[in-house]
Amino acid sequence: MVGTFYRSPAPDEPPFVEVGEVVKRGQTVCIVEAMKLMNEIEAESAGKIAEILVQNAEPIEFGQVLMRIEV
């Protein structure tokens, strides 16, 4: 989806995930704001966050890879 990438639920709150953190399938890893709607993005698989490829509050494009997860 096209929108704005956010690492945390609010500016004064910690990020959903950090590099090196283990996540479960379905766990919220970020938010994408699109047309004033906040869409929680969930991990598609369980594993360790290897890389976060987008900066906080950066615009993103349809199909863009946001994070890499080592399974």
Cα–Cα distances (Å) from 62 to 3, 4, 20, 25, 26, in that order, read 8, 11, 26, 21, 20
pTM summary value: 0.92
- Give me the domain span that covers residue 13: 3-70
CATH number at residue 39: 2.40.50.100
The tally of domains found in the chain comes to 1
pLDDT, one tens digit for every residue, the chain (71 residues): 799 999 999 999 999 999 999 999 999 999 999 999 999 999 999 999 999 999 999 999 999 999 999 99
